[in-house]
Every structure is written in structure tokens, then in C-alpha cells.
Amino acid sequence: MKKYNILHLDDNPIFIDLIKVILENTYINYEFVHYDDEAYNFLKKKIPDLMIVDLIRNGDCCDYEPGINFIKKINSEFPNLKIMVVTGSPDETLQNKLEKYIIAYEHKNFVPLEFRKKVMNILETNS
């Protein structure tokens, strides 16, 4: 079976650990970064099969614009990169605003096994 690579951009170590546990015992090489510049530098060296991005990071409080702008930037420079947003906001307006840049939008209040299944489906589709 193919080994997939995921890059996760999130500043919450507890959530990063949760995703690590959810994706254990799969054919996934899981890597994470905390800052936009780390993610961008990673992408310049290696394109993962999927990038998971939290919209609110690094003290942005309730400001989604930095996260949205980052997604637009990496989408323009890496148009074949699959991006999945996992965020604390179930805001449908945000989802609609991002739909042409991302492959999936998930609220952080997900069921772990359903999330794992969704990730695996994304990875196995068109890979």
C-alpha cells in the first residue's frame, strides 16, 4: 500500500497530538508545523499528499483573514496541493469563501473515526 504524507499547520499541541493518535496505524507519514513560514518552507522542499490547516493560529484570536490569506497564497503557488481546513468555526460563510481553494472543511468537534475515514478517502482519491 502507498505511504501518504500529511503536513498539519496548527498552533495547538493538544489538537496535533489528537490528530497523531487518530492517524496512528495507517499508511501516513504525519508531520506538523506551528507557523505559516514553517509550512511555506516545508512546501518549497516537499509537497505532501494532503495539508491540514487550522484557520486561527498564533494569537489571531477570532481573525480568520490571516488563515484565509495563507490558504490562498499556497493554493496559488502549489495548485495541486490538497488542502483540508480543520477549524473551531462551523461558519458556513467561511466554508463558502474557501471552497475553491480547499478539498474539505471540517469542524474540530468531529468524531475521530469519521475524521480518519474522511482523510483516508481524500488521500486515496486521485492519488
pLDDT, residue 74, reads 96
Contact 16, 32 (CB under 8 A): yes
8, three cell numbers: 498539519
List the domain boundaries for the chain.
4-124
For 25-81, the DSSP string reads: TSSEEEEEESSHHHHHHHHHH---SEEEE-SS-TT-TT--HHHHHHHHHHHHH-TT-
pLDDT tens across the length of the chain (127 residues)? 689 999 999 989 999 999 999 998 888 999 999 999 999 999 999 999 999 999 877 666 677 788 899 999 999 999 999 999 998 877 788 889 899 999 999 988 889 999 999 999 999 986 5
pLDDT, residue 57, reads 73
CATH architecture of 4-124: 3-Layer(aba) Sandwich (3.40)
pLDDT, residue 65, reads 84
pLDDT, residue 127, reads 55
pLDDT, residue 26, reads 84
pLDDT, residue 58, reads 67
